[in-house]
């Protein structure tokens, strides 16, 4: 059995199985999610609801939504990053990944 090596200083908001840092429990490696979205109000709630309890961190790179996508994402604890779309998928992906703490 392993113990989280730095539980006292862990920067992860949520541990996947909520046992990280406790003696005689298995160590869980945190998993994060980064998504690029735009005007996904109708879908983002269902999407994030299905994974929110499994992710230690969620980052949403919003490329110019005009609906309530950002508001819905924030309700699931996602860090929302506004990134103006410039026809460069890689740049949007990297903007989201750059803001992840994992």
How many domains does the chain contain in total? 2
pLDDT of residue 5: 55
Do 49 and 84 fall into the same domain? Answer: yes
Do 35 and 17 fall into the same domain? Answer: no
Do 14 and 58 fall into the same domain? Answer: no
A 10 A CB-CB count for 32 gives: 16
- Domain range enclosing 85: 31-98
Tens-level pLDDT at each residue, the chain (102 residues): 344 555 555 655 545 444 455 443 445 678 899 999 999 999 999 999 999 888 989 999 999 999 999 999 999 999 999 999 999 999 999 999 999 987
Do 72 and 35 fall into the same domain? Answer: yes
pLDDT of residue 3: 45
Distance CA 42, CA 22 (A): 39
User: C-alpha distances in angstroms, 20 versus 1, 6, 74?
Assistant: 11, 10, 25
Say whether pTM exceeds 0.85. Answer: no
Do 35 and 79 fall into the same domain? Answer: yes
Do 89 and 41 fall into the same domain? Answer: yes
Contacts of 11 (CB under 8 A, 6+ apart): 101
Do 60 and 85 fall into the same domain? Answer: yes
């Amino acid at each position: 059995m392993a113990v989280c090596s730095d539980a006292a200083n862990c920067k992860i908001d949520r541990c996947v199985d909520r046992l990280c840092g406790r003696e005689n429990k298995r160590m869980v490696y945190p998993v994060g999610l980064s998504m690029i979205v735009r005007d996904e109000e109708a879908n983002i709630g269902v999407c994030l609801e299905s994974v929110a309890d499994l992710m230690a961190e969620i980052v949403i790179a919003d490329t110019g939504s005009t609906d309530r996508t950002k508001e819905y994402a924030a309700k699931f604890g996602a860090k929302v990053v506004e990134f103006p779309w410039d026809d460069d998928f890689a740049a949007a992906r990297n903007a989201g990944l750059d803001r992840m703490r994992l």
